[in-house]
């Protein structure tokens, strides 16, 4: 019986704190080397490549991995990553979570070893394009004309929740309504138009007097913000035809 304790990973191969515990040692005649590697939050390898490739099996936590030219991808406990022979790549923990994986590396008959490249910069690690990221972004989700044009005296904003699998039923508002889905999803349909499924971040517009045929919460229910455009002295009202 032999017991092996982990040791600090070499700084020339890692950024941040990491520890390596050998599981199977190729020095004992094995043709495969297996190490258990634990990364502290934010720690990662340098760019590197293996002559016969590598397999990573995530056993704990959440991490990140990237191959040269590809996106930064998230890995979690239970995930397996197969890296091709000679493929430049890096791997490590998420910014706020530690990660442990088994690193399984076939050993070439000629004894060739992995090759280390440059460290992974903070921008590469985040996957955000480094300093090219603007401090503020603005995206137009909806640019809607009101027909007919109207004078709006005030806007009333309501947070509305509909229970799972409940339908609002056919209804009509007495003024224009804009909405933005916060959580869950809903089947939305203006009478005579195609139905659509709306989820978090989606927006919608209900014209004044339009018959809303469906606003049906799906299995997780739905919560949304409703913006009611009201004239002077007007109150938001809803009518359910046929009831």
pLDDT per position as a tens digit, 166-196? 999 999 999 999 999 999 999 999 999 999 9
Is residue 65 a contact partner of residue 91, using CB atoms and an 8 Å limit? Answer: yes
pLDDT of residue 28: 54
CA-wise closest residue to 184 among 162, 209, 213: 162
Which stretches of the chain score pLDDT less than 70?
Answer: 1-6, 26-30, 128-137, 243
- Cα maximum dimension of the chain: 87
Domains of the chain are: 7-128 (2.60.120.10), 154-239 (2.60.120.10)
pTM for this structure? 0.52
Residues 6+ away with beta carbon under 8 Å from 232: 151, 153
CA distances from 52 to 47, 96, 108 (A): 16, 32, 7
pLDDT of residue 130: 47
Phi, psi of 93 (to 5 degrees): -85, 165
Residue 73 β-bridge partners: 65
pLDDT of residue 5: 61
Dihedral angle at the C-alpha atoms of 55, 58, 64, 67, nearest 10 degrees? 10
pLDDT of residue 132: 47
Q: Distance between CA 213 and CA 195 in Å, rounded?
A: 9
What is the per-residue DSSP string for 99-139? EEEEEEEE--TT----EE-----HHHHHTS-GGGS-S----
CA distances from 126 to 9, 63, 73, 94 (A): 22, 12, 10, 9
State the pairing for strand pair 14-15/32-39: unpaired
CA-wise closest residue to 189 among 216, 149, 223: 216
Is residue 206 a contact partner of residue 181, using CB atoms and an 8 Å limit? Answer: no
pLDDT of residue 2: 62
């Amino acid at each position: 019986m032999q017991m092996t304790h982990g040791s600090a990973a070499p700084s020339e191969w890692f950024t941040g704190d990491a520890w390596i515990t050998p599981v199977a040692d190729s020095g004992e005649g094995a043709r495969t080397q297996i190490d258990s590697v634990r990364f502290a939050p934010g720690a990662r390898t340098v760019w590197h490549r293996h002559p016969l490739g590598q397999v990573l099996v995530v056993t704990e936590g959440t991490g990140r991995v990237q191959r040269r030219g590809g996106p930064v991808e998230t890995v979690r406990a239970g995930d397996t990553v197969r890296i091709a022979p000679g493929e430049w790549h890096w791997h490590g923990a998420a910014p706020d979570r530690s990660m442990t994986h088994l690193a399984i590396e076939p050993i070439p008959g000629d004894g060739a070893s992995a090759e280390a490249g440059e460290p992974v910069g903070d921008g590469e690690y985040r996957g955000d394009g480094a300093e090219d990221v603007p401090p503020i972004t603005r995206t137009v989700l909806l640019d809607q004309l009101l027909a007919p044009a109207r004078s709006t005296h005030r806007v009333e904003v309501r947070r509305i929740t509909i229970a799972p699998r409940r339908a609002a039923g056919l209804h009509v508002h007495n003024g224009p309504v804009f909405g933005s889905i916060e959580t869950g999803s809903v089947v939305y349909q203006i009478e005579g138009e195609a139905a659509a499924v709306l989820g978090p971040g989606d927006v919608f517009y209900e014209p004044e007097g339009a018959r809303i045929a469906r606003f049906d919460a799906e299995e997780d229910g739905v919560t949304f913000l409703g913006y009611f455009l009201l004239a002077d002295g007007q109150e938001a009202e809803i009518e359910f035809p046929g009831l």
